[in-house]
Amino acid sequence: MTPSAEGTDSASTSGEPSVVAATSAGSPLTHFDATGQAHMVDVSAKAETHRVARATGEIRMLPTTLALIEDGAAKKGDVLGVARIAAIQAAKRTADLIPLCHPLPITRVAIDFDIDRATSVIRCTAQVETRGRTGVEMEALTAVQIGLLTIYDMCKAADRGMVMGGIRVLEKHGGKSGDWVSPEGPR
């Protein structure tokens, strides 16, 4: 069962779930057409503007695993260097991974890793920029998640219990909807 435009559960007569989220009725679900079918949003009428999005997430690990990363002693090499390149590549390939994302001409990707030794956490923050007709929030989120997954991949032999979390958009700027900053602020 999926929510209909009225916010109640509904199903089609065929027994398949039905989504009715008519964009003409002002639904915020822009990736569905008037009949509830998924579609790629038409952004051709939107103005090209400078778009920026920042996202963050973290991976918690054993203190010994964090020490391996900081000392450059992980068997697979420079963990944060490889994770940075993976995150940049992920931002550039987001449209290949998320079916309804538009391919965008990314103009800048910056990846930062902050280490918190007290909690054995590495925080990844991605900033992605473009000049285009749609935002880059998905590219920033994808960059963060792939950066964290790369850390996991490179260190899983030492610590299979690493936990990723807190992945979220911190802020976005540009476009018709303007600026948005997370009310939670940075964590």
| Catalytic residue list | 153
In the 8-state DSSP scheme, what is residue 117?
T
Question: Do 159 and 65 meet the contact criterion of CB atoms below 8 Å apart?
Answer: yes
In the chain, the N- to C-terminal Cα span, in Å, equals 35
Query: What is the β-pairing status of strands 2-3 and 9-10?
Result: antiparallel
Other Cβ atoms less than 10 A from the Cβ of 89: the count is 15
Query: From CA 52, how far away is CA 96, in angstroms rounded?
Result: 20
- 3-state secondary structure string, 47-80? CCEEEEEEEEEEEECCHHHHHHHHHCCCCCCCHH
Contacts of 122 (CB under 8 A, 6+ apart): 58, 59, 61, 66, 69, 80, 113, 114, 115, 116, 148, 151
